[in-house]
Structure 1
Amino acid sequence: MDAQFWHNKWQRGEIGFHQTDANPLLSRNLPALGLAQGARLFLPLCGKTRDIHWLLAGGFQVVGVELSPLAVEQLFAELGIVPRVSTAGALRRHEADGLTIFAGDIFALDRDALGRVDAIYDRAALVALPGATRTLYAAHLLAITNRAPQFVITFDYDQSRMDGPPFSVNEAEMRGNYENAYRLSSVESSDIPGGLKGFCPARETLWLLEPR
């Protein structure tokens, strides 16, 4: 799997992973992050998620990074906003009041360009990446966000039953990648009705990661 895989998904409109409403795991549990009004949340591999609309409407600031320029264009179009566009190293920065989205490779994003992060909301980034890349990704987020607290949503299922993405990420892997830097707790966990993609038994978990 490489960058072209995701570019092709967006170009063909194969975005079944995109939800039409804000994720209820976020809307039900956001207070657990203990954020002040106006806090700045980082959404890695954000696509054009409706969670951004919901967070902005709630008075939060949002910064995201997304590989697909098409997804970024669609996000701002759906928000009805014309962003200011500039270059940030290898990335393109799209800015509007309270919202900054970087288009490009998340591994090209550094701490200086990213700026202040009060919390990370990882709805679909970790589970979009294959195994070895997940470890690199977790370490990269630690480096560029100064160990900001995190919400991370995972799916746990028999990987032999279905090809990712989304990939299966179990508790042992979560602890292996994050426990040295964070205290991990399961905020909410349940079996997915009908299974993942309508056939694969899976458990969805919202993790709270609090810096040690």
Structure 2
Amino acid sequence: MQPEFWQQRWREQRIGFHQDHPTALMLKHWPMLDVAPGAQVFVPLAGKSLDMVWLASQGHRVLGVELSQLAVEQFFDENQLSPVIRETKYGRHYVAGLIDLVCGDAFGLDADVLRDCMGVFDRAALVALPADLRQRYAREVYANLPHGCHGLLVTLEYPQHEKDGPPFSVDDAEVHALYAREWAIDLLERERIVPGGPRFEEGLSRLEMAAYGVRRY
């Protein structure tokens, strides 16, 4: 899956993954995670997520990364924020208040830029990647987060043969296979999405959403 795939999705506004509200599972479970007030929180494949606004409202410094410049610009326009823009080796940084949103590739980030991220919120990144890139993502991106980092990982589970991702199905066994060597993993909630409901996708026989608390050893 090449970057152009996501650029095209944003140009055509085929962004069904975008929510016009903060993630309910985050609102419920984030306060129980041991992420210190004021800590920097990493939000990968951030799009124009309102989760970043909520995290900043809790006093966190936010470091997001997003490939699409259109998504980045829409985020600041729609939230009536006027960012200061600067260039670094990681991409173009748009900074407003507590939010630093990098227009760049998550795989281009390194331990230097992520060293202060003592929190991570991943709702739309892991499930957006096919299996081979999920392995690389865990091996390269999560590996650059510091020891002691706490976070919330949200996944979807459904019979993969019933739908072409993204979003992809990532079950409990895969979450542990990807992360258990470096991260403590705690299943916080598994929510069954009711068929016919507004969040259920046609063509699926089953859809569940899972939330995991994670902590790097």
* TM-score category of the 2 structures, normalised to the smaller one: over 0.9
Q: Tell me which residue corresponds to 1:197.
A: 201
Give the equivalent residue in structure 1 for 2:167.
Answer: 166
Contact 2:191 2:210 in 1 (8 A): yes
Identity fraction in percent: 35
Distance 1:75 1:115, change over 3 A: farther
CA distance in structure 1 between the partners assigned to 2:59 and 2:79 by the alignment: 15
Conserved in 2, the CA contact under 8 Å of 1:91 and 1:109? no
Question: Structure 2 unaligned runs (5+)?
Answer: none
Q: Distance in 2 between matches of 1:84 and 1:6?
A: 25
**Residue equivalent to 2:62:** 62
CA distance, structure 2, for counterparts of residue 99 and residue 110 of structure 1: 19
Deviations 1:151-193 (A, max 9, x none): 1111111110000000011111111110001121110111112
Letter in 2 for 1:210: R
Contact residue 88 and residue 113 of structure 1 kept, 8 A: no
Letter of the structure 2 residue corresponding to residue 181 of structure 1:
E
- Encode CA deviations 1:40-82: one digit per residue, 9 max, x unaligned: 1110001001111211222221110001110000111122112
How far apart, CA to CA, are the structure 2 residues paired with 1:138 and 1:21? Answer: 27
Question: 1:144: Cα distance to partner?
Answer: 2.1
Q: Which runs of 4+ in 1 moved over 4 A?
A: none
Give SS of 2:51's match.
helix
Quick check: 1:116 aligned with 2:116? yes
Which whole-Å deviations, capped at 9, do the CAs of 1:83-133 have from their partners, x for residues lacking one? 111111151111122110111111111222344101110011000000010
**Structure 1 residue runs without a partner (length 5+):** none
Matches within 5 A, 1:1-212: 1-147=1-147, 148-194=149-195, 196-200=200-204, 201-212=206-217
In the comparison of the two structures, how many residue pairs are matched? 212
TM-score (norm: length of structure 2): 0.92
